[in-house]
Each structure stands twice: as C-alpha cells, then as structure tokens.
Amino acid sequence: MAKILPISAQKSEPLLGKLRVPSDKSISHRALILGTSCVGETLVSNLLEAEDIMATADAMRAMGGHIEKTGDGRWLIKGVGTGGLSQPDQPLDFGNSGTGVRLCLGLVASHNMTVEFSGDASLSKRPMGRVLKPLADIGASIVSSHDRDRLPLTLKGAANPLAIEYTLPVASAQVKSAILLAGLNTPGIMTVIEPEPTRDHTERMLSYFGAELNITPEAQGRRIELTGQPELRPGILNIPADPSSAAFPLVAALIIPGSDIVLKDVMLNPTRTGLITTLKEMGAKITIVDEREEGGETIGDLRVEASELKGVQVPSSRAPSMIDEYPVLCVAAAFASGQTHMAGLGELRVKESDRLAAMAAGLKACGVEHEEGEDSLFICGKDSIPGGATIKTHMDHRIAMAFLIMGLRSDSPITIDDGAMIATSFPGFIDEMTALGATFKTSAE
Ligand code: S3P
C-alpha cells in the first residue's frame, strides 16, 4: 500500500512570483495514445510526468508502443500505426485515472484482442458503462466483469468493428474520445454527436496527426465525423500548462491579501476556461498577458492579483468547461461576499470521488455555510473561515488541493488526511506553492 501523507496548510503571507504549473493532463494522455497510433516517431516536450500519465505510458508500451524519456519532460514515441496494437500479456492497471482507462478501452475496442483493465480503489468505483455501451455497439464485448459497469473488467475487441453514430447521453469528453479512438481502426465514418461542447483535445490532435475529421454544428452541440483507418503522421508536440492545475495557485492568489503572481504558459482552449470566466464575474483581477497560439492551442500567461470577490450564479451550461474546477471554485466562493449558486453538477458525483459530497462535508467541517443539492451547491461566503478541521480526501487529488488552498487563508490550519494522490496530476504542488509563499506542514505516516 502507498504511504499515507497527511498535510496541513496554514494562514500564509502574500503569494508572489512566477510559476509554470505542470503540463496538461488531458493532452498528455492523448499525446501518448495518438503518438503510439502514428507510423513513425513523435517527439513530445513538456509531457506531464505524473502518475496518471505514466499509467497510460505503461499501457501503451504493454500494447507494443515504444515510449522513452529522452530528457526533462522530453519523450520519444515510436508508433505502431492505427490497428497495429498487440495483445498485452498482463492486465493494464490505470491506477487512479478515469481518462486513461476510458480512452484505452476505446482504442482496444476495435482491435481483435482481449485485454484486462484494472485500477485503484477510487477508479474501481467509477462507472465504465458509459463507454462500454457504445463500444458494444461497435462490436466489442465484455468477457468478464462484476456488474458490467466497474473495473476490473476484461474487454474483447471487435474482429470486424462497425462504424456507429452515437449521441452522448452525458457531456463527457472521455466517452466522445473513446468512440473516436475506436474509430481509428474501424472502416467507415464514426460519428459522435455531443449536445454540449466538451473539451476537444482529441479532435484537435487527430487533425494535427492528419486524420480526416468533419465537425459541424448541430441545432444543439456538434456532430463529429471521423473517417476510419487513417494513416496518422507523426509530429512534434509541446504540451502547455494545465488550466486545471493552474486553478489552485490562481484561487490561492485571489484569496490571500497582497498576492500578485504570474502563471506561465496556461492553455486557454475555450472548452477549458469556464473557471476564468466565472472568477472574472466574481471580480477577480486576472489579466491574460502574451496570448499566443502554439501547437493548435491558445496559450497565455495569467497575472493574478488578490481580489475582493463577490458571489455569483454559475449556470449549468458552463459545467463542461470547468468540470474539474468546482472544488477550487468552492474555495473562492467561501471567501467571496454574498452567495454563490452552482448548478448542473451531477457529473461531480462520479469523478475520482463524489466531489459534491466531499466538498460539502469539507465545507461543513471548516465552518462554511452551504447547501448541497442533488446536482447543485450553494455557498454563503464570508471574509473569515474557522478551518481547524481534518478533511477526508477520498483518494481525490482535487479535493486534497482545494482544501489545502482553503487552509492558506482560514483562521486555523486545515489538514488533509492524505495528499499522496496529488501526484496523479500535480507532482511538486507543495514545493511550487511553497516557493510562492504558501505554508504547509507535511508528516508522512
Ligand atoms: C477529461 C474529461 C473530463 C474530466 C477529466 C479529463 C478528458 O471527464 O473531468 O478530468 O481528458 O477527456 P468526463 O469526460 O467524464 O467529463
């Protein structure tokens, strides 16, 4: 068993300085998967070297990809081409990563091979039926699983995969991506219709590697058509900083009086910027400096100054563009004047933990007035929050980081029961935040 790592955060001096948070997790998964699906060598710089991504790298290696670290953040991928994966001789263990497992289920679904998928205790509670259903329509079948919805499970890919047209019942980039990845080794046109736009990194990277994609707006959402069995050409990828990781120092700087920081190279893809929009509505002083295009994504440096925040209504339509940012938005809302109401949060219940319940429990423990609905959350902000609690993180990195940020401004320190999972997305979180001026105490058990 991994070591349990309780961490405390206490009232801190202003945060000052510059930070490049780790690279984008979503793009890093896709770089490894699509790099392996190319014929030839792809060079990646600034790959996120976190546990979730290393699990995907191991899975791609086990299926024949050659993935090698060549320097700091620099990786070389020698691809096997679409349809070129080979049957792994051991189960693929995705650890804590929902993105890794769901995307790889899609990839495997159109290969004539049988693969066992597993994960840690948190991942083994998360629903897989949402991807398995369309993959069954494509022709894949579940050979073994407890309830056809959870890991561990064994998937037999289709010998003759069928192109389907599938309308997403939930706004999920993982489900969309799983179907498109299955489409790589499927003859014909694989079609996904998404009623609400979700992060589009798979589409962007597929186009970059030369796949034929047709994206058209629908009355509601978008229709995405992928022409199957493309020959993907390798390329060079430089991965920008992850806006979902940047969210933590960003909110910390907003709530700690006197703070003034710059977050470097943050990806500003419009399918990911819901938190920035919301915080600006709350009165946050966030200035985008040096906005530029790099590798098909808009990126920029964010100057963030401590701000007087006020409560707002966050519409459910914004949820897909900030789905991973609600835990830390709760922290901003807790220190804002007035009330914040967040709607359309149903998907938070099936993340690395039930994030809605975990946030509500933590807010209660720290003395923040709030109300948890089935898929909504109401928070009544205050200038001072008692803190002084130990928070259950439920193996969820974003719950862990959110409450550590809250502890940097609460009256008494906040302790999280276990910070080990932070390494799944933001290795170096404690050191990088400490360098900006945050105060933490770590005690390994
Ligand atoms: C992700 C999609 C989102 C997000 C997750 C990463 C991706 O999940 O929460 O952290 O990389 O496609 P859903 O697709 O379940 O919304």
Best of 103, 170, 174, 316 to mutate for ligand 1, by most ligand atoms within 8 A of CB? 174
Q: How far is the CA of 441 from the centre of ligand 1 (A)?
A: 31
Residue of 52, 265, 301, 324 marked active site: 324
The 3 state secondary structure assigned to 38-99 is: CEEEEEEECCCCCHHHHHHHHHHHHCCCEEEEEECCEEEEEEECCCCCCCCCCCEECCCCHH
Q: Residues 232-252: pLDDT tens digits?
A: 999 999 999 999 999 999 999
Q: How far is the CA of 172 from the centre of ligand 1 (A)?
A: 6
At 444 the pLDDT is 57
Q: In the structure, what pLDDT confidence band is assigned to residue 146 with cuts at 50, 70 and 90?
A: confident
At 445 the pLDDT is 46
Helix or strand or coil: residue 14?
Answer: coil
424 lines ligand 1 (CB under 6 A): no
Q: Could you confirm whether 147 is annotated as catalytic?
A: no
128 lines ligand 1 (CB under 6 A): no
pLDDT at 147 over 90: no
Helix, strand, coil share of the chain (percent; to 5) = 35, 30, 40
Calculate what percentage of the chain has a pLDDT beyond 90. 96
pLDDT at 117 over 80: yes
Tokens 């992060």 correspond to 199
Atom of ligand 1 nearest to the CA of 351: 9
At 145 the pLDDT is 76
Domains of the chain: 7-23+240-442 (3.65.10.10), 25-238 (3.65.10.10)
Atom of ligand 1 nearest to the CA of 175: 14
Q: How far is the CA of 99 from the centre of ligand 1 (A)?
A: 6
At 1 the pLDDT is 47
Calculate what percentage of the chain has a pLDDT beyond 70. 99
- Cα 52 to its chain centre, rounded Å, is 10
Q: Residues 313-368: pLDDT tens digits?
A: 999 999 999 999 999 999 999 999 999 999 999 999 999 999 999 999 999 999 99
Single-letter residue type at 206: L
What average pLDDT does this structure show over 265-275?
98
Q: How far is the CA of 410 from the centre of ligand 1 (A)?
A: 30
- Residue 61 near residue 67 (C-beta atoms within 8 A): yes
Q: Whose CA is nearest to atom 15 of ligand 1?
A: 172
Q: How many CA atoms does the CB half-sphere of 307 hold within 13 Å?
A: 24
Residue 379 neighbours by CB distance under 10 Å: 27
Token pair belonging to 3:
């070591």
The 3 state secondary structure assigned to 183-212 is: HCCCCCEEEEEECCCCCCHHHHHHHHCCCC
Q: Which residues pair with 412 in a beta bridge?
A: 387
Residue 212 neighbours by CB distance under 10 Å: 12
Min mean pLDDT across 152-156, 174-178, 294-298, 385-389 is at 294-298
Q: Residues 119-134: pLDDT tens digits?
A: 999 999 999 999 999 9
